[in-house]
Structure 1
Amino acid sequence: MSREQPSRRPTIYDVAKEAGVSHQTVAMVLRGQGKFRPETLKRVSAAIETLRYRPNNAARALATSSANRIGALVFELQEVGPSKTVQGAALRAAEAGFLLEIVSLPLFDGIGPEHSGESDAIERALGLLDRADVAGILALAPVDRLLSLGSGPVSVPLVMELEDASDPGSTLSRRGMDLVIDHLAGLGHRRIAYLGGSPTWLASRRRAEAVRAALARHDLEPVAELTGDWSASSGAQAVRALRPADLASIGALVCGNDQMALGALLALDEQGVDVPGRISVTGFDGIPESGFLRPPLTTVKVDYAVHGRRLVDSLLTRLGRPVPDPAREPAPDDIEFLARASTARSGELRAP
């Protein structure tokens, strides 16, 4: 007897209803956790086949699969931050007895989430990772579409790279931007602008929020908020697009990452704007090349390997697994402020 298939993608709740068990039971069976009667496994397996629930190979692996992998969704591994984060996560996963499986998503013109193909790409990526041998997923490419999927179609825990911490002051962006703004305020800067990534990226919004919060502590607001896409070319384009009057109103430019700062430095030089005599410029990330720009870039160096390990620790906690050597391992500081020649006291070197 044929059965009409639902128009939407079936979920573990649909499988649970079909099999007459709880959704927690389905999730545990898919992950190979717990002990269940053969009759229960048979009903869950039959429900998966009937509903054609993804992953397709789950029913065949129900009784024997071992969840020994952690999936990682990433956008770009050529940049320092993402590559170092993945390296740290992979080492931490190995220490805990897991393999880190990387699935790369396209960048969609370098900005990301406003493309119609993004949802399909994310669905395909999740399909590759939502398997019986995958214990959990790290989303190292946090965009809005992933946020909406985080609690729905996957049957394993999913940890977002910049999801809100219980203490907002502990996030990398907040702590790093506090250091940047404190530095600029200490130099007498009051007219501070911010150049960030696309606001449809969670990382961009968190970093912009951190800048606004740090400025508010000094009773300041951004004199301008510019938008790039994390690339050097977008930083240059954002500065080139400023009207002369708007550029004249800026005393310091805080960039959301070092690449955009690199582009901004070029565009300012093209327009004859002295850095730091006329405008101070800061970056974020601490890429190795940041100290060799002209002038060397004031930035926040982030130890992304530590960040990657902590993301895995967060996932392990969600999974109820022990964190490797939690008492023996020191808690290294994952950020360091580097004051260099791209910032100076407000008006200190300005021509009369």
Structure 2
Amino acid sequence: MKAATIYDVAREAGVSHQTVTRYLQGFEGMRPATRERVAAALRTLDYRPNSAARLLRSQHTNRIGVLADRIDESGPSRILRGASQLAHERGYVLDIVVADGTSPAAVEASLAVLTEHQVAGILATAQTQIVYEELRRHSFSGPMVLGSQFGVSDEGPSLSELAGRLAADHLLDLGHRHIGYVAGSQMWLASAGRLEGFRRRVEERGGQLAWVREGDWSAASAYRVWEELSSAERRITAVGAANDSMAMGLISAAHASGLSVPNDLSVMGNDDIPEAAYYLPALSTLAMDFEAEGRVVLDALIREIEGRNQTAKPSLASPRIVARKSTARLR
């Protein structure tokens, strides 16, 4: 079968071939509806840019190294999915190396694997302080992009902090004032940001954060947290969790201890994983556009690789409250 050209994509999307070219070059000033039509046409026709000639002219490889961690979790895997989609559209290949972001030795070893092969740049989606410190120490002649450089406004909080604030707002708006929180590992910047946003918002609005416990992002860790709470610590009316898996573990543990969710205890998650809508009770959570984050960070790296300036500061959609059955108004 003959490979699709940009002219085929233009016909499929109902736009000019110049519009398709601008999309492939990462042009920011394009209407969202037009951008979506072009993206859909690229997927439908399985368009593959003829990057060979361009890369030979520029003496660049088309391989990008990706340092990743916790790809079994929804957020990191969806970030990689978005980055992979954009790489395909732009004619690049991702070499993904998974590293334990909590181990300096593991990060160093994974960086060595990436840099011993010819890569045009490195994208780090493993967002721990250890990863950042190792990247700063590592000598690599090409561009590097760190995932959490994005999603932060000049005047507002990071998206992680905003997610924490919105989760707290949802529970506070329902009348809850005595609240607990199960955080993810504080080595992860997203977890630290969500906890800080949640804590500040509860305090700002006159609530009481009765306790904070740290899990490891798994349902089992949150189940254990609830089991280990004293009877006095369980006298809360709502609890927030840094991700949906831990929220589900909390619901299960609360039921096992004789409580009804949400009649006795409201539970709020974060990430809106596909299973959240079908859990019993359906989980209230925060929807995060991780795929868009993957596209944004990879686009910034490709611009550096190709020597193109960022025409506008990248922006990501704010988290969105998805209210379901696991939270209810305080009786």
**What's the TM-score, normalizing by structure 2?**
0.74
Report the Cα distance in structure 2 between the residues aligned to 1:239 and 1:159, rounded to whole angstroms: 38
Report the Cα distance in structure 2 between the residues aligned to 1:317 and 1:179, rounded to whole angstroms: 33
Deviation at 1:132, TM superposition (A): 6.7
Percent identical: 36
Q: Root-mean-square deviation (CA), in Å?
A: 2.6
Q: Deviations over 1:311-338 (max 9, x none)?
A: 21333455464489x89xx977363321
Deviation at 1:131, TM superposition (A): 4.7
- Per the alignment, residue 135 of structure 1 pairs with 120
Deviation at 1:97, TM superposition (A): 3.4
Task: Please say if 1:78 is aligned against 2:86.
Answer: no
- Per the alignment, residue 68 of structure 1 pairs with 62
Report the Cα distance in structure 1 between the residues aligned to 2:122 and 2:207, rounded to whole angstroms: 39
Cα 1:246/1:203, change in 2 over 3 Å: same
Cα 1:124/1:276, change in 2 over 3 Å: same
- Per the alignment, residue 201 of structure 2 pairs with 214
Task: Please say if 1:256 is aligned against 2:242.
Answer: yes
Cα 1:345/1:94, change in 2 over 3 Å: same
Q: Deviations over 1:49-89 (max 9, x none)?
A: xxxxxxxxxxxxxxx96242222111232332222110101
User: Does the 8 Å contact 1:179/1:337 carry over to 2?
Assistant: yes
Gaps of 5+ in 1: 1-63, 107-111
Larger Rg: 1
- Per the alignment, residue 178 of structure 1 pairs with 165
Deviation at 1:232, TM superposition (A): 0.7
User: Does the 8 Å contact 2:180/2:212 carry over to 1?
Assistant: yes
Report the Cα distance in structure 2 between the residues aligned to 1:166 and 1:75, rounded to whole angstroms: 25
Return the letter of the residue paired with 2:136.
S
Map residues 291-330 of structure 1 onto 2, 5 A cutoff.
291-319=277-305, 321-322=307-308
1:150 to 132, 135, 141: 135
Deviation at 1:166, TM superposition (A): 4.9
Q: Which moved more, 1:253-262 or 1:197-206?
A: 197-206
Deviation at 1:180, TM superposition (A): 1.6
Report the Cα distance in structure 2 between the residues aligned to 1:274 and 1:339, rounded to whole angstroms: 18
- Per the alignment, residue 266 of structure 1 pairs with 252
Cα 1:95/1:214, change in 2 over 3 Å: farther
- Per the alignment, residue 31 of structure 1 pairs with none
Return the letter of the residue paired with 1:336.
R
Return the letter of the residue paired with 1:344.
A
Cα 1:168/1:268, change in 2 over 3 Å: farther
- Per the alignment, residue 279 of structure 1 pairs with 265
SS of residue paired to 1:162: helix
1:344 to 304, 322, 328: 328
How many residue pairs were aligned? 271
Report the Cα distance in structure 1 between the residues aligned to 2:301 and 2:188, rounded to whole angstroms: 21
User: Does the 8 Å contact 1:96/1:323 carry over to 2?
Assistant: no
SS of residue paired to 1:315: helix
1:245 to 203, 215, 232: 232
Q: Which moved more, 1:69-78 or 1:229-238?
A: 69-78
**What's the TM-score, normalizing by structure 1?**
0.70
SS of residue paired to 2:148: coil
Report the Cα distance in structure 2 between the residues aligned to 1:332 and 1:152, rounded to whole angstroms: 29
Cα 1:298/1:102, change in 2 over 3 Å: same
Q: Deviations over 1:127-164 (max 9, x none)?
A: 12125732222222222321211222131333222347
Report the Cα distance in structure 1 between the residues aligned to 2:174 and 2:329, rounded to whole angstroms: 4
SS of residue paired to 1:246: coil
Q: Deviations over 1:222-276 (max 9, x none)?
A: 211111000110010111110111111x221000000001111111001011211
User: Does the 8 Å contact 1:196/1:255 carry over to 2?
Assistant: yes
SS of residue paired to 1:76: coil
1:89 to 83, 90, 95: 83
Cα 1:157/1:274, change in 2 over 3 Å: same
Gaps of 5+ in 2: 1-57
Report the Cα distance in structure 1 between the residues aligned to 2:99 and 2:62, rounded to whole angstroms: 23
Q: Deviations over 1:174-226 (max 9, x none)?
A: 23223222211111111121111111222221221121232243144521111
Report the Cα distance in structure 1 between the residues aligned to 2:69 and 2:228, rounded to whole angstroms: 27
